[in-house]
Amino acid sequence: MSNPETEWLQRSLQGDEEAFASLVERYQNPVFNLCYRMLGDEFEAEDAAQETFWRAYQHIQRYDPQRSFATWLLSIAAHYCIDQQRKRRAPILAIDDLLEETLPDQAPDPERTASQTEEQLAMRKLLETLNAQDRSAIILRYWYDFSEEEIARALNLSASAVKSRLFRSRQALARQFMADAARAAGKERKQDESPAF
Amino acid sequence: MNHQPFNSWLYEDTPLPAAQAEELRQHLQTCPDCRRQQEAWLNVRHMLRTTEAARPQPGFSNRWQAGLEARRLRQQRRQVRITILALAGAVLLVLLGLLIYFALTSSFADLFASMIGTSTQVAVGLVQIGEFFQSLLRFLPPEVTAAAWFIIASWICSLCLAWVLSVWRISRKGVSSHEELH
């Protein structure tokens, strides 16, 4: 951990709100990304990320400085998002709804934006096939390079449970990818076969 | 075709030992199903590794700070409500206790008579105190009397001011400190 972060953490532990705001500034992207990948909606992700920082602020005294702050923070975010998923148990969004909604625009290039949106949608569709805990395990593993032990600690699971969840999730994602690819290929074939006037 | 253990090896996150890797390679050459699965998983893994992280709209930390202020205010108001309710509850409980105590220990007539007696004693006591001060004022020089009145009035004003300020502070800021927020 870099020096300013250590200082912000120490000051935050003493109740310095400004120091904690610096931590919010520093970790807003990873926390938001995790919430977005978990919930699949920009507005819900914003609320979840805000709630994560509020919970972290409220319980900062419980943070163990020997451990990584990012791990602690992402663990709070993952738990919150898992709870939200359990509460809502909403049906998966229709693809048309997904297309209407745009992600926060970071690229001025329209082509790049379009391809990024497509990529994000594909990713979201894939992740939606997993249950909340499996999804969080996959996100922590592949977006944040958490080890199985770190995921186990973050999600309060045993290392063997994480291992089997990750394994099952990889299989499910690959199967979904194959199904999507087959569907897309079928669509293309239909378009090619349709008579041109 | 038997796909095990190859199908499981496809999804292993850690590199396989050389012998197993070779066995898997040979199986993949003859099994299109496992090959499709491997390609699919490699594609998914690539997507997971390369899809750009989503970012919040600008001003996230400002929104957090504004939210923090709002939450704190809500928490403090809730605390004030709880304090007031607790105090009112305690007073009611004491009154109820007294009522039950008197109802159990004496009759209504006794209670009424002792109430009248106590009120009379208090009234007589107040009149006597008043007379005492009046007689005292007659003997004191007028400067001392004025100074005494001034001191008494100042004390009353100060107490009133402190009370008003306390009520205002509790209603505005609550009774919480930063520690309590944690």
- Mean pLDDT over all residues of chain A? 83
pLDDT at B180: 41
Same-domain status, A5 and A82? yes
pLDDT at A88 exceeding the cut of 80: no
Q: Evaluate whether residue A103 is within a structural domain.
A: no
Q: Would you mind telling me the total number of residues written for chain A in this entry? A: 197
Same-domain status, A127 and A79? no
Q: Evaluate whether residue A71 is within a structural domain.
A: yes
Q: Evaluate whether residue A99 is within a structural domain.
A: no
The last residue of one of the domains, among A62, A91, A120, is: A91
Contact A116 B52 (CB under 8 A): yes
* Distance between CA atoms of residues A120 and A125, nearest Å: 9
pLDDT at A95: 44
| CATH of residue A132 | 1.10.10.10
* Distance between CA atoms of residues B182 and A44, nearest Å: 25
The last residue of one of the domains, among A37, A56, A91, is: A91
pLDDT in tens, A107-116: 455 665 666 6
Distance (Å) of CA A134 to CA A37, A137, A168, B57:
12, 5, 8, 27
Q: Evaluate whether residue A102 is within a structural domain.
A: no
Same-domain status, A87 and A112? no
Same-domain status, A9 and A82? yes
Contact B55 A32 (CB under 8 A): yes
Interface test with B, best of A28, A129, A146, A147 (most B CBs within 10 A): A28
pLDDT in tens, A143-180: 898 999 999 999 999 999 999 999 999 999 999 998 98
Contact B54 A142 (CB under 8 A): no
Rounded (10°) CA dihedral A136, A129, A100, A118: 80
**Interface pTM (ipTM) of the complex?**
0.75
Q: Evaluate whether residue A60 is within a structural domain.
A: yes
Residues of B in contact with A23 (CB under 8 A): none
Q: Within an 8 Å CB–CB cutoff, is residue B182 touching chain A? A: yes
- Mean pLDDT value of segment B33-49: 89
Residues with Cβ within 8 Å of residue A140, at least 6 apart in sequence: A34, A74, A78, A146, A150, A151, A154, A155
Q: Within an 8 Å CB–CB cutoff, is residue B70 touching chain A? A: no
Same-domain status, A86 and A128? no
Q: Evaluate whether residue A42 is within a structural domain.
A: yes
Name the minimum distance, in Å, from the CA of B10 to any CA of chain A: 9
pLDDT in tens, B87-136: 999 999 999 998 888 888 878 788 888 889 999 999 999 999 999 988 88
Q: Evaluate whether residue A97 is within a structural domain.
A: no
Same-domain status, A191 and A161? yes
The last residue of one of the domains, among A91, A118, A142, is: A91
Residues of A in contact with B43 (CB under 8 A): 177
Interface test with B, best of A12, A16, A17 (most B CBs within 10 A): A17
Contact B64 A50 (CB under 8 A): yes
Q: How many Cβ contacts (< 8 angstroms) between chains A and B? A: 110
* Distance between CA atoms of residues A25 and B119, nearest Å: 67
Same-domain status, A116 and A77? no
Same-domain status, A5 and A77? yes
| CATH of residue A26 | 1.10.1740.10
Name the minimum distance, in Å, from the CA of A174 to any CA of chain B: 5
Domain extent, residue A163, equals 108-197
What total number of domains does chain A contain? 2
pLDDT in tens, A178-191: 898 888 888 777 77
Chain A residue with CA closest to B13: the answer is A167
